[in-house]
Chain A
């Protein structure tokens, strides 16, 4: 197939309607063709407009509350900051509340030993909060792991480190509802702009992408997924290093993989 053949496949790719073999071939081409990658972005916008063909409907008010409660229980995020900074609140139409200005000259304003002591105490307090938050997060992970493992039909798959990360390992637990949790350890910290990504690999089919995750300074990372029954039975799970946010077809080295 040539460039024009791949170009013709892009509208269907934007609808995620390509069959696995075509999707795999196109993804290989996209890795080397900037023009086609630009086309993908344009066709994805056209595909997204189809969403407006659905009748708008009002979710129940509880959904909003659940979302806000959910994010409060998670780590402090830069969500609003990232969205507003990257897209520009005027350009995107977001009316994001701006963040407060940072102190212009901190040291000039700290004229006394008392102030310095206060800063040290404040820093210690922040460190303490971070430590507590990390402990709390680990407990939540363990709790979730126990919940899934104690579900009916729960299963466990182990992923072993490849030559890229011989000391790494991971466990993937999932239950009959498709709820899954992957906990990895011993992975090197991804470089700036990179994340680890999960893949489902079946014989004679192009690998299918899963979610991405990063690791902490100790090389630990975790990922929540939903896994189809067919993948639970027939897929090999693999973890590769990819551009942050993930890609549709693997481009990086495999760091972890399971056996069938």
Chain B
């Protein structure tokens, strides 16, 4: 195996369960999620030179790229009305023991704990934005809340999330 290829393979092995979990949460469709995951790593291969460690960690870079591709695919699929997004979540294949070991469960615990501490009125707008790709106006319409209220709740929720993760941030370097 070529050396560059080995580096990419290792990157994949390290992050696949996180990124695939993210894509499954966005797309709720295993086939589409695997297709996007494949696209993401091909994009990583083509655009690795664009990665700038001064602007963020590899984790942030990868997750941002994956989420963006996932939301793009979600919109394409929704536009074509090809998937029923509200369909049952495909959780038939739980993460393997080995993958669990590889996955930094500690960091996940910190995030889920932080999210659990957010009031639902702040957490829902964040979830709708991050996993469903909705804009603030769309979230306001979805929740039946005034736009200004949604903006305030999102900002407050993000600030609280950052505060709860502050000091633990070093462990998110992966």
A residues apposed to B, CB below 8 Å: 8, 11-12, 14-20, 22, 41-60, 62-64, 66-68, 70-72, 74, 76-84, 86-88, 91-99, 177-178, 226, 228-230, 244-245
Contact = CB atoms under 8 A, between A and B. Distances in A.
Interface residues of B, number: 94
A53 B53 contact: no
B130 A11 contact: no
A230 B161 CA distance: 35
Contact of B34 (A63, A68, A178): A63
Given A80-B8, A94-B58, A71 B111 contact: no
20 contacts: A16-B71, A18-B136, A20-B135, A45-B172, A56-B21, A56-B95, A56-B99, A58-B16, A58-B94, A59-B20, A60-B93, A70-B38, A70-B45, A77-B4, A80-B7, A86-B53, A94-B7, A94-B58, A97-B6, A228-B79
- The binding surface of chain A is classed by DSSP as helix
Interface in B49-66: 49-53, 55-60, 63-64, 66
Given A50-B126, A79-B4, A97-B7, A74 B51 contact: no
Given A63-B34, A93-B173, A228-B76, A48 B64 contact: yes
Interface of B: 3-14, 16-22, 24-25, 30, 33-34, 37-38, 41-42, 44-53, 55-60, 63-64, 66-68, 71-73, 75-76, 79-80, 91, 93-96, 99-100, 103, 107-108, 110-112, 115, 125-127, 129-131, 133-137, 139, 151, 154-155, 158-159, 161-162, 165, 169, 172-174
